Amino acid sequence: MLNNSKIDSEQLKKFRHEVTRCMLLYKFALAEISTKVNILQEEFQLIHEYNPIEHVNTRVKSPESILKKVQKKKLPLSIPSIQENIHDIAGIRIICSFVSDIYRIADMIQSQEDIDVIEVKDYIKNPKPNGYQSLHIIIKIPVFMTYGEEYVFVEMQIRTIAMDFWASLEHKIYYKYNKKVPSHLTDELKEAAEVAAHLDQKMEKLNNEVTLLKEAEADEETIEDPSDTVKLLYNEIKKIELRYRQ
């Protein structure tokens, strides 16, 4: 009896250690991808004087959520099985101003050599039946530990402010009704998603028009207000012309 208790205690301790190490891996993976996103954000701001990212959120699923997913997928309750089959334990959500920014950020992330793109689900071009819109990308990112390198799955969601607002409210409503939402509310939610999509399109159009106006104004200023160098050159040419005439 004592021997069995000792074995059980040692197994429990080992399993707890493995779970802790596993959670650390996902935490470090999110730190890695967050750093990459921050670098892209600052560089984009410097080069283009524009920030395509409004804000970034990260999260690691709770052990309870992981366990529910294991049971739902009917997976073996082991760390290797969880790591290989559940790809959204670590998640990063990037909120952008415009739809075009979503694809711009996605292209920049996917083009990095140390990131392995596993799956892309475009719920913007192909919204879910309930109206949900977002770009989902499953990636594998390297994490460097003391014992070596490990690649960790991370789910990246990229969406606009309007998409995020809708998704947040939809989640609260489903939670309130314990996922049994009355049909008239689901219809209204879908309609609200369509309104949000229309808003995104309208704001993108307005932004493009403002950009064109700014470019046109900049061109006019360049013509009407030449730089000091151009003014000096113009005056020198006039002086030479006057000398030639004399």
Q: Please state, in angstroms and rounded to a whole number, the distance separating the CA atoms of residues 192 and 173.
A: 13
- DSSP per residue, the chain: -HHHHHHHHHHHHHHHHHHHHHHHHHHHHHHHHHHHHHHHHHHHHHHHS---EEEEEEEE--HHHHHHHHHHHT--SSHHHHHHH---SEEEEEEESSHHHHHHHHHHHHT-TT-EEEEEEETTTS--TT----EEEEEEEEEEETTEEEEEEEEEEEEEHHHHHHHHHHHHHHHHTTT---HHHHHHHHHHHHHHHHHHHHHHHHHHHHHHHHHHHHHHHHHHS--HHHHHHHHHHHHHHHHHH-
Q: Please give the positions annotated as active site.
A: 155
